[in-house]
Amino acid sequence: MRPQRLVDLLAVVALVLLGLSGYLTWISADPGNGRQDVHLNGYTITKAPVTLALAAVIAVVVTKLAGTFLRRVLGGLVVLLGVGAIVVALGVRPDGAELSRLRPELSDVLADQVTQSTGPAPWFALAGGIALVAAGLLTVVTAQRWRRATQRYERDPAATPADQWKAIDAGEDPTL
């Protein structure tokens, strides 16, 4: 598999994983005393994973049109976005005061012990961040081997103009 295709695949996987982390349960809070559990999805807790995923996918798309140096810069940016997603996945855990700000129905029960449990969403965000880091590193390492966007349409430098006209007259496309 070509490095470009692998970077595309990793970026799509990261987009799916980080997007899922925004809509799955990030934290479940049990206020106790028979009250109903409160489930907070990733987008309620933080909008960072989805935003980082979209920014990384845009950077990967721009690498298709860029030269080697800009590809390396954008690959480094994708690595930083992936590290940001990993930091968010590992570090964002709201405490009681933050939960009461996010969900007002928890404010009256903060005197009770609120038990929190982590849902699957941070793990999806972590996996998506790792996929972004891998895509960025692969871009930085293999940027010089990528095909240029216009390479398909460039003519053969060894062909003379007469050969190209003969190919056109024969119904062939000399740019292929």
Q: What is the pLDDT of residues 15-46, one digit of tens each?
A: 999 989 888 887 777 766 676 777 777 777 78
Name the residue among 150, 123, 2, 130 with its Cα closest to residue 64. 150
| Pairwise CA distance, residues 25 & 172, whole Å | 57
DSSP state of 96: H
| Pairwise CA distance, residues 36 & 80, whole Å | 39
Across the range 72-87, mean pLDDT stands at 93
Q: CB count, 10 Å around CB of 159?
A: 12
This prediction's pTM: 0.74
- What spatial distance separates the first Cα and last Cα of the chain, rounded to whole Å? 22
Query: Within a 13 Å sphere around the CA of 175, how many CA atoms are in the beta-carbon half?
Result: 5
Give the model's pLDDT for residue 140: 92
- The tokens describing 170, both together, are 């024969």
pLDDT top residue among 14 and 111: 14
Give the model's pLDDT for residue 111: 43
**Beta carbons of 132 and 11 less than 8 angstroms apart:** yes
pLDDT tier at 131 (50, 70, 90 boundaries)?
very high
pLDDT top residue among 51 and 99: 51
pLDDT exceeds 70 at position 110 = no
| Pairwise CA distance, residues 5 & 145, whole Å | 12
Q: Give 134-154 pLDDT, tens digit per residue.
A: 999 999 999 888 877 665 555
pLDDT top residue among 159 and 49: 49
Give the model's pLDDT for residue 135: 93
